[in-house]
Chain A
Amino acid sequence: MSAVAFDQVTKKFGDTVAVDEFSLQIADGEFMVLLGPSGCGKSTALRMIAGLEEISSGILTIGERVVNHIPPRERDIAMVFQSYALYPHMSVENNIESPLVANKRAKVDATERTRRVHEAAETLGLTEYLARKPGELSGGQRQRVALARAIVRRPEVFLMDEPLSNLDAKLRTQTRLELVDLHRRLGTTFVYVTHDQVEAMTMADRIAVISDGRIQQVGAPQDVYEKPANLFVASFIGSPPMNTILGTLQGATENAAASVLTAEGTLAIGHPGSAQPGTELVLGIRPEHLHATDPVDAPGAVRATIQNIELLGHERHVICTVGATQMTVRQPNDAPPLAIGQAVSLHADPAEVHLFDPVSTERLN
Chain B
Amino acid sequence: MATDPTVSAANEQNRLNQTAEKIVDPLVPAPYDNDKAVQSPRSGLRNAVATTTTYLVLTALSVIVLFPIYMLLLRALSSPLKYISAGQPLYPVSIEWDVFNRAFGQASLGRSMGLSFVVTFVIVIAQVLTSVLAAYAFAFLEFPLKKLAFVLVIGTLLLPIEVTLIANVEIIRKLHLLNSVPGLTFPFLVTAIGIFLIRQGFLGIPRDLRDASELDGYGHLRFLFKVAMPMSKAIIGSFIVIAFLGAWNQYVWPRFATDRGAWQTVQVALRTIGSENPGELNLGFAAAIVASLPLLALLIFFQRQIVRGLTAGAVKG
Give chain A's interface residues, CB within 8 Å of chain B: 47, 50-52, 72-73, 77-79, 81-89, 98-99, 102-106, 149
Contacts and interface: CB of A to CB of B under 8 A. Distances in A.
Contact of A50 (B211, B218, B219, B233): B211
B145 interface: no
B215 A79 contact: yes
A81 to B, nearest CB: 4
Contact of A102 (B206, B208, B218, B231): B218
Contacts of A88: 231
A312 to B, nearest CB: 16
Interface string B84-121: 00000000000000000000000000000000000000
Contact of B216 (A82, A83, A89, A103): A103
A102 B211 contact: no
8 contacts: A72-B214, A72-B215, A73-B217, A85-B206, A85-B211, A86-B209, A102-B213, A102-B222
Interface string B206-244: 101101111111110010001100110100000000000
B63 to A, nearest CB: 45
Interface in B185-213: 206, 208-209, 211-213
Contacts of A51: 214-215
A106 B217 contact: yes
Interface string B153-164: 000000000000
In this complex, the member of B208, B212, B218 whose beta carbon has the largest number of chain A beta carbons within 10 angstroms is: B212
Contacts of B212: 79, 81, 85
B136 to A, nearest CB: 17
Contacts of B226: 102
B14 to A, nearest CB: 30
Interface residues of B, number: 18
B217 A105 contact: yes
Contacts of A99: 215-217
B160 to A, nearest CB: 35
- The 3 A-B pairs at the shortest CB distance, nearest first, are namely A103-B217, A73-B217, A85-B212
B216 to A, nearest CB: 4
B215 A89 contact: no
Contact of B215 (A77, A84, A105, A106): A77
Contacts of A78: 215
A85 B231 contact: no
A73 B215 contact: yes
A52 B207 CA distance: 11
Given A85-B211, A86-B209, A89-B227, 7 more contacts: A47-B211, A51-B215, A72-B214, A79-B212, A88-B231, A89-B233, A149-B216
Contacts of A103: 216-217
Contacts of B216: 73, 98-99, 102-103, 149
A170 to B, nearest CB: 14
B211 A83 contact: no
B209 A85 contact: yes
Nearest to B229: A89
